[in-house]
Chains A and B, each alone.
Chain A
Amino acid sequence: MTTTNPGASRPGSDLLWPAEPAAPVRRRPPRRSPLAAVAAMPRRGLVGVLIAVILVVEIYPLFWLLTSSFKTEDDFETQPLWSMPQHFDWHNYVSAWQTAALGQTALNSLIVTLVSMAIILIVGSAAAFALEVMVWRGRRSVLLFVIGGLMVPTQLILLPLYTIYYHAGLTNSLFPLIITYVGQGLPLTVFLMATYFRSVPLELFEASALDGAGIFRCFFSVGLPLVRNGIYTMAMLLFFSIWNDLLVALTFNTQPSLATVQVGLLNFDGQYGQVSYGPLLAAICIIIFAMLIVYALVNQRVMKGLTAGSIKG
């Protein structure tokens, strides 16, 4: 029972460590620590400074990116870095669009992301329904078996998958990406959707079955609408993780016409020795501000999804 860890000073260990109140005991008046003195400083001023620091740290890099993306090579060499561009030069954007093949890569990324998402959500919630709502022996073990997939890092499965796709002749299409993302997304989706189904009273399904609904109606008309919050949360999680992924996209990328946005961005990297600033920054700018629009549309749901689990306790 005795422990040598001072951090764990608990009953039994107070023989070794001087008794230190684990919870605050009534002590009056509270001693003035230096920290309390700082806190007593013009509080409003301190809070203002902290907010200003946060704003600068978060916004300045993006602001610099935006202004720099309009600069010409000349501006970079002759003007100080924080100066505004001499004139707004759209040339960088034209050249960025071409170098990163943004039209093509954005289309590829969009196809891969949306198709994978749709398959994961349908197949994953169906499996979660079978594992959580339907009654049969062995469902617990199967659920654990699927959740175990969360422990498998991507690196472990890449090489055999490459071999499989190579022999199946799939390497010249977007299929390898879609199949891999679906496999990777399933364990978390099944796990999350199962917890959502668990919170639905089983009587609801029994009642609708009694009213003559078949099992597919139970799933599509009763189950899915009740867990739609889970589906929204999972959809956003999947969207960002698949859209932003590089490792899988790079591994299975065999030709430029199949590249995703992230792979296309690497085209700027020193292909001709010197990297030209303007077009690269313009390409990053397009990608980041496109994400800003997506984020503005869904951020409330993202926050809700992240906080929901823990509020439920």
Chain B
Amino acid sequence: MRHILGNRRAVLAFLAPALIIYIGVIVVPAVWSLVYSFFQGAPAAGFSYVGFANFKHLWTDPTVRSSLEFTLKYAIVLIICQIVFGYLLALFYLFVLKRSSTFIRTLVFFPVVLPPVAIALLFNKLFAISPTVGPVDSVLHLFGVGPVDWFATGSGAFVVIIVMDLWRSAGFYAVLLYAGLLDIPAEVLESARIDGASGWRLVQHIVVPLSKPIVVASVIFAINADLKVFDSIYALNNGGPGVATTPLNLYMFETSFLYNDYGYGAAIAMLITVVCLLGTVLVFRSSRREVAGAH
């Protein structure tokens, strides 16, 4: 009956709790944050209006520059690795293991549900060289490669971070892409096989073009997850050495809670938001153009 499903008081009763929490916890603070970025100070010490000074500082701050560069480099390298490894795993599940892929799929997915903090602390020990040489360097030693002090250089730490986050997330992208590949109609694959396409040619000309939508969805998902990296790096090496592997998020956290400058922290948070939005829009636009061009 229309009058029951259209009862305004009932609508209000169902909707109000969610709306109140959502507005109070997400909408108001998001706007408030924008206001903060024009001030300097912290709740305990009080605030003072500084106009656009925080944003000017963003522009000239070398740490912002280096953490923005690190965040982008990290996100781009990791997204490429996640999609490539995820896709190869998905192909492996679908075309090689076929029905017996359940166990491997479940196993590779397991790290996805683990706490990033626990994984980071584990990888810190796997790649350690002091006080004892860790497993990774022990293996390298067998090949005659001298002990590498991974966490002493920015590039060494970068490698560990990428390996760790790939290990943690590859299973997720593999399952996501595998689900997308399952959607390709069996008849299409069958007729391509009859036409003589097999192995890599089948993958290259049939599977890859048909799975474009799920790849784009995965990339958008990865952008939003990777640009917000915090937990794993904070626990692994706290962005060191120096600020060499400090992402924007970590810098924002330190500025706000270590140096007690909420205003500047809010300005950095604004920058993070803008970077995430730009990344998503960019991928969305370029994928739409490509799909439009295909027709």
- A: residues with CB less than 8 A from B are 3, 7-8, 10, 21-24, 26-30, 33, 35-36, 39, 47, 50-51, 54-55, 57-61, 64-65, 68, 76-77, 80-82, 123-124, 126-127, 129-131, 133-136, 142, 146, 149, 151-164, 166-167, 179-180, 182-184, 186-187, 190, 202, 205-206, 209-210, 214-216, 218-219, 240, 243-247, 250-251, 261-262, 265-266, 268-269, 274, 277, 280-281, 284, 287-288, 291-292, 294-295, 299, 302-303, 306-307, 309-311, 313
- B: residues with CB less than 8 A from A are 1-2, 4-8, 10-11, 14-15, 17-19, 21-22, 24-30, 32-33, 36, 43-44, 92, 96-97, 104-111, 113-118, 121-123, 125-126, 131-135, 138, 167, 175-176, 178-180, 182-183, 192, 195-202, 205-206, 209, 214, 228, 230-231, 234-235, 249, 252-253, 256-257, 262, 265-266, 268-270, 272-273, 276-277, 290, 293-294
What's the nearest-Cβ distance from chain A to residue B194, in Å?
9
Chain B contact surface mostly: helix
Which of B30, B182, B294 has the most chain A CB atoms closer than 10 A to its own CB? Answer: B30
Contact A24 B117 (CB under 8 A): no
User: Can you name 27 A-B residue pairings with CB atoms under 8 Å?
Assistant: A24-B196, A26-B195, A29-B196, A33-B200, A59-B107, A61-B123, A64-B135, A68-B125, A80-B138, A123-B21, A134-B10, A149-B27, A155-B268, A158-B269, A167-B43, A186-B18, A187-B26, A205-B5, A219-B14, A244-B115, A262-B115, A262-B231, A265-B115, A302-B109, A303-B109, A307-B178, A310-B182
Contact B107 A24 (CB under 8 A): no
* Bound: A164/B25 CA distance, A: 10
Cβ-closest 9 pairs across A and B: A183-B25, A127-B18, A130-B14, A160-B29, A160-B32, A307-B179, A157-B29, A246-B231, A215-B10
Contact B115 A261 (CB under 8 A): yes
Contact B269 A155 (CB under 8 A): yes
The contact of B133 among A26, A81, A288, by CB within 8 Å, is A81
Further 16 A-B residue pairs, CB within 8 A, beyond A149-B22, A153-B228, A251-B253: A24-B206, A35-B200, A80-B138, A149-B26, A151-B276, A160-B33, A182-B25, A183-B26, A186-B18, A262-B115, A274-B131, A288-B114, A303-B105, A310-B176, A310-B179, A310-B214
